[in-house]
Structure 1
């Protein structure tokens, strides 16, 4: 039973060869993935076979395919080869591809009333394929549910982030408006403060004291000039007395 699960090297190499997309112009799967087509025998011999089978003999490659029960037919792009267990993307079915031998026909004729070994093998293949398809569908359903949940969470997070950004934007605008108001108020306050400091009572009193001192001192100008200066000083003195009164700002 242990040897039954082993895949022949030729089958594995052929499957790997078809998985190489860089040589799809030489040999490739059909669109359905149920067979493959050799599009250029010449390029297959020259470029591909030496990489996978260490020879350039296309006839030897055909004999191997025939020994493993591949059916050859014509295709619009070249030669088509098909095996029921050789399918694109279904590597687990390769274990059921066996080399043909002369005992197969004798075993089938021994018990004609009983299901043949070949038929049983085909039934096992179908069961494996059905199980794989079921498991794949289950995983796909689970992945879809996970993606759906993640997409819902992402949409909710994006919506919350959008609301948060709008809220922060409004707060920033409000703070900027407050800052503009404060800066304007500070400018006005500084202006009024400079005026009030210039016209303080102490400052005016000092000026009045200086004027009084000057009035008491003798002047040496001409009599007319002396009278004019005294009148101007008295007028200035009266103006400073008026300015010495406290100034109130609204």
Structure 2
């Protein structure tokens, strides 16, 4: 009477033609445990050194080593423990991914993990392009608003300077008029005969 093989070895009999089966085999393979393994709950897997993993392990199973592209195509989600700006160098080398159907000791779920359709990928890319275009438009709009504000400030400054110039010009004209009036009055007084001559006449 034959014994049923353990679930951890059952994956060896599963076809490795798809990415998820190959990935599952890598996670349960003892020779890769220092680079890729389940987390303590078995609900996600962890890549401990992404550079070494991409260099030494992926080429043995795939044609290229763009691992993050693979997992995105099959709906895996990257688990971020801390915000990007607060991660240490070691944290940047540790990647954790999860999928509701990619679970330890449950290789029977693997066939339910489907690659995203081309339409979905195209739609996501189109949405990404639209979002990028909108972001660029918002940046351009913000720059135009700043330029308009600067032009308005410059125009207001020119108007103020013009008003000051007109005020100074008016004051100068008033001073010149006063001087002319003063000179005219002095000249008129010099042309009049002396007071005693007027009495003799």
TM-score with structure 2 length normalisation? 0.43
Instruction: Select the structure that is richer in helix.
Output: 1
**Bigger Cα Rg:** 1
Name the structure, 1 or 2, with higher relative contact order (CA <8 Å, separation 6+): 2
Normalised to the residue count of structure 1, the TM-score between the two structures is 0.35
